[in-house]
Amino acid sequence: MTTSNNQLIAQQAVRRRTFAIISHPDAGKTTLTEKFLLYGGRVEVAGAVRGRKTLRATASDWMEIEKQRGISVSSTVLPFEYQGYQINLLDTPGHHDFSEDTYRTLMATDCAVMVIDLAKGVEPQTQKLFRVCALRKIPVLTFINKVDRPGLDPLAVISEIEAKLQIEPVPMNWPIGSGLDFGGLVDLATHQAYLFDKTSGDLRVPYETIPLDRLHQQNLRAGIAHHALEEVELLHSAGARFDPQRFLSGSATPVFFGSALKNYGIEHFLRAFLDLCPSPSPRRSNLGLIPPAAADFSGFVFKIQANLDPRHRDRVAFVRICGGRFERDMEVLHERTGNRVRLGRAHLVFGRERETIDEAFPGDIVGLVNPGVFRLGDTLCEGQPLRYEPLPQFPPEHFAILRCPSSDRRKQFERGLNQLIEEGAIQVFVDPRASHQELILGAVGELQFDVVRYRLESEYLTQTTIEWLPFKSARWIASAPGDTTPPRLRLPYGTRIVKDQYGGTAVLLQSQWDSDLLTRDNKHVQIMTVRDAATADFELSESEIAQANR
């Protein structure tokens, strides 16, 4: 590897910004994504974002669309250039297609933008997604959206962020009024106010910049300027200062107000985003931290997506490049199996389009057409063999038993299910104590069950019936390495202790109440919401699946 090649990798890595937007449905993620793309010059693409959302309107429509078009509606990465940066915006499906993939995608980002609706505050899905960012200490910028509409008291929303998410919110700007009375934004660092031209519908809304002490002279409704100045004074005396180190370590989040729809504050936010969002940082592996500018290529699979088109039914493994340079047709080590694989069919998957990729750098995502070789969490590398940290396992929220009513399709059913479990399309649990053992399937999103059933039907020609179980969540019980005896637990009524596909012990719960009781009554064990998966070798074999289904 030559010095100039190393320099090229370093230069390219430094200009990458790989991030995701997290939010509760309707907070404005799609609108903000469009604005990112519009400012980034991918105008034609912005419409596609809205289009995709419309297509996702209902779960059944979504399946229909998958079937008719033979594509997956949910894209994985929206790449675009902006002011010399290569920005990779990773898509985090949020509505009906909210699934474990949404969480796993966050494992491949370097930063997240959290969108909060000013009228709603911190909502449940935001909280869940934020927890995943917190798990990996991913830096988070906060955008409080819809200042053009009447909302909650901004100070109350700030307090809520702190209370619910346990992160220090540091306001960077502050709204002057809201709804019809919205006058503009105060930049808390420069003490200037930006007064937007509210009659302009343009992307770049014209605004006047004035020093804060002239705010009183503006034509704002009585009390608005006074109130805003009081709040700014209050924030000032509270003394919250933005500390880049605390942001990068996930302890503090800079907070920006604005309106994605009306473009208020968007330009400032994007500029701040480019300043703050880190370029790819070193990643943890069994060999220690691997720097992006490493001479050798390495990356990990964070998502596997099946193409539901019966004409070319391939699977795409999405790889986040962590170090070195990817080149099409390169041969790399597939660390889990020890085999060498040639990365021939590499794509940039963008919405419905697939563009062949010739080279890519740390922070980029490439889609590899996967002939069943890759699994979630797999590491691909050149040079000295290394393994990136395993992907965590997230608690499912829906549980069910799938059955194959036709006895002559049982074999195909078992093979198909086993394949889908391996792919990570769905989680699986077994109750070792049950007299009649059946596989309990678990998924973060209900749509995952639809996809599994659809694929069993179309790829393995197997009809299934489904029996929903009353569980709503799971908690894992930590055990020491090599410890095979299940811990003694006091279980709340109606819960079930099970093994997951990696041999971990989990408890299936029907409510938050159960979860609280489990924690209260079992202080002698460590109870985990998220499990760092799969260092264990244990996997259910086809024969075990067959036995469990009998």
Q: Kindly list the residues in this chain that would bind ligand G4P in the complex (CB under 6 A).
A: 23, 25-31, 53, 145-146, 148-149, 259-262
64: enclosing H helix or E strand: helix 59-69
Residues 375, 380, 385, 391, Cα dihedral to 10°? -50
Report the nearest approach of ligand G4P to the CB of residue 185 (Å).
Answer: 13
List, in sequence order, every beta strand (DSSP E) within 24-133.
77-82, 85-90, 111-117
Name the β-bridge partners of 116: 144
Report the nearest approach of ligand G4P to the CB of residue 31 (Å).
Answer: 3
Report the nearest approach of ligand G4P to the CB of residue 255 (Å).
Answer: 16
Interatomic CA distance for residues 6 and 181, integer angstroms: 54
**CB closer to ligand G4P, 145 vs 419:** 145
Let me know if 517 is exposed, middle or buried by CB neighbors in 10 A (0-12, 13-18, 19+).
Answer: middle
Pure H helices in 94-243: 100-106, 124-135, 154-165, 224-238
**CB closer to ligand G4P, 14 vs 59:** 59
Q: What is the identity of the amino acid at 544?
A: E
Q: What is the identity of the amino acid at 82?
A: Y
**CB closer to ligand G4P, 145 vs 253:** 145
Residue 414 phi/psi, 5-degree rounding, is -65, -40
Report the nearest approach of ligand G4P to the CB of residue 26 (Å).
Answer: 4
**CB closer to ligand G4P, 32 vs 228:** 32
Name the β-bridge partners of 256: 143
**CB closer to ligand G4P, 269 vs 300:** 269
3-state helix, strand, coil in the chain (%, to 5): 30, 30, 40
Report the nearest approach of ligand G4P to the CB of residue 112 (Å).
Answer: 14
Interatomic CA distance for residues 300 and 524, integer angstroms: 35
Report the nearest approach of ligand G4P to the CB of residue 506 (Å).
Answer: 31
Report the nearest approach of ligand G4P to the CB of residue 228 (Å).
Answer: 19
Q: 51 vs 27, 34, 48, 66, CA distance in Å?
A: 17, 11, 5, 14
Interatomic CA distance for residues 316 and 372, integer angstroms: 9
Report the nearest approach of ligand G4P to the CB of residue 132 (Å).
Answer: 17
**CB closer to ligand G4P, 161 vs 343:** 161
**CB closer to ligand G4P, 53 vs 403:** 53
CB atoms within 10 A of CB 299: 29
**CB closer to ligand G4P, 262 vs 496:** 262
